[in-house]
Every structure is written in C-alpha cells, then in structure tokens.
C-alpha cells in the first residue's frame, strides 16, 4: 500500500512526510482493516509531525480522522461494525479495557491508551488497521469529507462544550476559532447560547462574524461582558489568566488542547477565589 510516513520530526513547511510503499497490513485479533477514502488533518497531526509532542517510535503514519470501508475483519470481531460498513477511525485507538477508567466509561484516561497516528499507524495511507472497539459507524447523511473532521474536531468540540457546563441562555466564550471551535459554535447557537469569540486570525474573526457570534475580537480584555463558560482551543497558555478575568463567579474554563504553551503564574486570590473551575 501507499502511505505518507513521518520518518523524522521537522517543521511542516519542510514537507517532512515521505511517500512509502509498504506491505498491505492485515488485521489481528479484534481488529478490522479499513480501506481509506479520505483523512482530514488536525493541529494534533502538526504537533506530532513537528515534534511538539513527546516523540514516539518513528517512522509513523500520521492521521486520525480517517473515513473508509471495512474490507477485512480479524478474528474475534463478532458484532458490528461488519464487513462493508463505512466507518471512522479517530484519535483514541486502543485501551486496556481493564483499568478503573476503562471500566467506568472513561477510557480516554486509560494509562495504557494508544493513539492513532501517534502510537499506531494512522490514516494517511491506503489502509489503516483499527481496534473494532474504537471505530465509528457513520450515518449516510454525512459525506466522507464532511464526516472526517467530526472524528476529532467534532469529538473534541462537543466534549469541551459538555465540560464547560453551559446553562440555558448563558454566555459562552471561545478562544481560538479553528475547526473544533466553529463546530462547537454551531451547537452552542442551536442551544441558544450567546457566543463570544476571541481569535488572532483575521479570517477566523471574519468567519465567526459571518456565523453570527455576538461579539468577535482579538483581545479578551476588549470583551464587552463577562461570560458564564469558556473554552480555550488555542494552544496558548497565556490565554488562561485573560480568560479567567472574563469569567463570572462559578463559571467553568475548559482547556481543550492536547498541547499548550506554559501558563503564566497567577494570583490565586484574584483568579480563583470565587470558585471558578478549570477543566481539561
């Protein structure tokens, strides 16, 4: 099969992925083989490629938003998804299934977890092998290219929104306006939340305005009102104190990124005395 391999971490500007011809992979116990139709790119892919995450075994095939058809099923796969099913392969690729987190439905916290395109070969290839427990059957309403971003941007955005604990009619701030944030905003608007967007990119600000944000700006200090909940999607730790300054008492701030620069030191009394909640 053809695959785009990362053989050495480097700036994405240097095009570090290398086309390779590899043997077609075969599914093992509890695994399925997916013939890839498309695979989206995520900022986490960039973190892996550029070495901003701890380097694992190289070479590796990145990509964790793959959509395709199951064309081969390994032993031990008795139930759905079945041969021929259209499925998605996402970031979480394997867990032990036995620890307290796996047993309580929090397998994303498993200490032995392995991730697609990082520990495991990903979707920038003709085929990807996936644990049958961690593939998602996709409804026909989503074409391939629309379904792919939902496998990371959608999952992260929706989970971050749940963690933010917004109340009916609340004000919600989004810091950074990439793929996860713009998916989150659509859900938030459908639920009647007033959305404020803070982002540096001019095109991102324009998109947020077009999508109907109540306020859009480059600097949190210019936000006209404080908010009840906030999510930081940008990998910028310096946003944390600024976001807390604009958070109402009892509000929740969610840090949604897998990678973030250092968070500046803060005056605990100023930022946290009123039971503000930080989640990640």
Q: What is the mean pLDDT of residues 266-278?
A: 55
End-to-end CA separation in angstroms for the chain? 38
Q: What is the mean pLDDT of residues 46-75?
A: 92
- Calculated CA dihedral for residues 63, 64, 69, 73, nearest 10 degrees: 100
**Residues 117/62, Cβ–Cβ less than 8 Å:** yes
Q: What is the mean pLDDT of residues 89-116?
A: 94
Q: What is the mean pLDDT of residues 270-275?
A: 49
**Residues 69/34, Cβ–Cβ less than 8 Å:** yes
Q: What is the mean pLDDT of residues 130-137?
A: 95
Residue of higher predicted confidence among 258 and 9: 9
Please check the confidence at residue 278 and state whether its pLDDT lies above 60.
no
pLDDT at 274: 44
Could you give the CA distance from residue 81 to residue 130 in angstroms, rounded to a whole number?
A: 11
pLDDT at 161: 95
- Among residues 85, 36, 86, 94, the alpha carbon closest in space to that of 65 is found at 36
Backbone phi, then psi, for 55, in 5-degree steps? Answer: -70, 130
Q: How confident is the model at residue 121 (pLDDT cuts 50, 70, 90)?
A: very high
């Amino acid at each position: 099969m053809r695959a785009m391999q990362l053989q050495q971490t480097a700036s994405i500007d240097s095009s570090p992925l290398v086309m390779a011809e590899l043997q077609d992979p075969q599914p093992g116990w509890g695994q399925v083989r997916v013939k890839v139709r498309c695979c989206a790119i995520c900022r986490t892919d960039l973190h892996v490629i550029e070495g901003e995450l701890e380097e694992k075994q190289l070479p590796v095939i990145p990509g964790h938003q793959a959509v395709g058809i199951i064309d081969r099923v390994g032993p031990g796969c008795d139930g759905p998804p079945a041969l021929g099913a259209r499925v998605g392969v996402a970031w979480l690729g394997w867990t032990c299934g036995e620890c307290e987190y796996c047993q309580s439905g929090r397998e994303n916290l498993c200490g032995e977890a392995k991730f697609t395109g990082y520990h495991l070969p990903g979707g920038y290839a003709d085929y990807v092998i996936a644990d049958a427990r961690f593939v998602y059957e996709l409804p026909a309403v989503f074409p391939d290219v629309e379904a792919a971003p939902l496998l990371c941007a959608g999952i992260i955005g929706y989970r971050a929104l749940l963690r933010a604990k917004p109340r009916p009619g609340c004000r919600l701030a989004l810091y950074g306006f990439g793929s996860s944030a713009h998916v989150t905003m659509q859900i938030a608007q459908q639920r009647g939340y007033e959305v404020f967007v803070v982002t540096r990119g001019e095109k991102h600000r324009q998109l947020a305005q077009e999508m109907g944000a109540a306020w859009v700006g480059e600097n949190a200090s210019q936000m006209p009102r404080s908010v009840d909940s906030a999510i930081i999607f940008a990998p910028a730790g310096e946003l944390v104190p600024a976001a807390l300054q604009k958070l109402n008492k009892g509000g929740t701030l969610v840090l949604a990124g897998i990678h973030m620069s250092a968070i500046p030191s803060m005056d605990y009394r100023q930022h946290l005395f009123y039971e503000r909640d930080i989640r990640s």
